[in-house]
Amino acid sequence: MTDIAVLGNGRVGANLAAALTRAGHRVTVADRRTGAAADAARGAGIVINATPGAGSLERLTALREELRGKILIDVSNATTDGPDGLPAHLLYPGSSLAERLQEALPETHVVKTLNTMLFPVMTAPAILTHPPTAFLSGEDPKAKQTVHDLLTDLGWRKQWITDLGGILTARATEAAILFVPHVIRSSGLAPFALSLAR
């Protein structure tokens, strides 16, 4: 059992919190208010960033002390939206939100994952007709192993999880968000994910 704080109480955060609670973890959910987020992060060993990516860097940098020495799982994508409200451009082209977070929080172990799929797949990967892939990006091997184990608690099989390497690899998975609006316009909001076929 792990103490986990989920920052963000929208569809992504609520979905993750419910699934992790069912898996036996102690989960606290905090909204975007700095005070609530600080209290939740202070009491957790693992913190999940499920806040809107465009404001995540500022919000989490304000929690530097609360996040010191902890694992920060970043599942957000930082984009600007088009007129239809769907992602249109990367906020950090040539970089990534995860890299910016690791630079701003050098004493926190940032691990990027679960950002290449619609949110229902994060906690129910077996709902798809083909096995999806959950990618891991991060500098600390122990932190990535902890996140790997957490993913298995959410129903991810080991062969569906791929460690891409250091935090710089997050720029590749974050860029995959640019597929999303085209897929949604083509096929609607049916759950989907990127899958690495071998």
108-160: pLDDT as tens digits: 999 999 999 999 999 999 999 999 999 999 999 999 999 999 999 999 999 99
Q: What is the pLDDT of residue 176?
A: 94
- Superfamily name and number for 3-187: NAD(P)-binding Rossmann-like Domain (3.40.50.720)
Give just the sign of the alpha carbon dihedral 110, 7, 82, 122: positive
- pLDDT, tens only, 10-25: 999 999 999 999 999 9
Please determine, for residue 31, whether its predicted confidence score (pLDDT) is greater than 90: no
Q: Do 60 and 85 form a contact (C-beta atoms < 8 A)?
A: no
When pLDDT is cut at 50, 70 and 90, the band that residue 35 belongs to is confident
Query: What pTM, to 2 d.p., does this model score?
Result: 0.96
Asked if the model's pLDDT at residue 85 lies above 90, the reply is no
- State the pLDDT at residue 34: 65
Compute the mean pLDDT over every residue in the chain, rounded to the nearest whole number. Answer: 95
| b/e 84-110 (16+ beta carbons within 10 angstroms → b) | eeebeebbbeebbbbbbbbebbeebbb
pLDDT for res 20:
97
Res 21: pLDDT: 97
Instruction: Label residue 33 by pLDDT band (50, 70, 90).
Output: low
pLDDT digits (tens, 9 = 90+) for 167-180: 999 999 999 999 98
Domain boundaries, the chain: 3-187
